[in-house]
Amino acid sequence: MSENMSENYVSNGDTQLVVFKLGREEYGVSILQVQEIKRMIEIARVPNSPSYIKGVVNLRGNILPVIDLKKRLGLSLGEDTDDTRVIIVKIEETVVGIIVDAVSEVTSIDSKSIEPPQTIVNGVNAQYLTGVGKHDDRLIILLNLEAIVGFDQEPGKNN
């Protein structure tokens, strides 16, 4: 899976990222995995689902789950604001939405400037990360979406 990820992030030495904010930190996912970015939409809660799953939404007639990313990563939670966005990503043929505080930009960073993650970054478990990228003076934390979506876990058991 991690090989897959590095493929996602590294193309021609440069990696195109969608950069977004969670709290005060900046995170990035490969633009190749992103389908679209939407304003906050109405989410129907799904009972008995893992707590990090905020619910399901209707995206043009398709029902897809939405993950509360801050909850998933164990970060402190905040209120939704005008900047809150849902990034629709496609992972292994499954489309899910992830809730982020704000989407800042699309940028490309040199793959050489990506460092493997330490065990804990900002209190986030390293299994959800693929690395930390340096871009100018900023640090962009690169996410391992496969692990975040949690295909390796039994659904409904993570309450």
Interface with other proteins by CB under 8 A: which residues?
Answer: 42, 44-49, 53, 55-58, 60-65, 94, 96, 149-151, 154-156
In the complex, least distance from residue 84 CB atom to other proteins, rounded to whole angstroms = 19
Closest to other proteins by CB, 74 vs 156, is 156
Q: What residues contact residue 42 under an 8 Å CB cut-off, 6+ apart?
A: 57
Q: What are the residues facing 68 on neighbouring strands?
A: 99
Closest to other proteins by CB, 66 vs 114, is 66
Whether residue 5 contacts residue 144, with contact meaning beta carbons closer than 8 Å, is answered with yes
Closest to other proteins by CB, 74 vs 151, is 151
Q: What is the distance, to the nearest Å, from the Cα of residue 126 to the centroid of all Cα atoms in its chain?
A: 14
In the complex, least distance from residue 144 CB atom to other proteins, rounded to whole angstroms = 16
Give the residue among 107, 83, 95, 92 at the shortest CA–CA distance from 36: 95
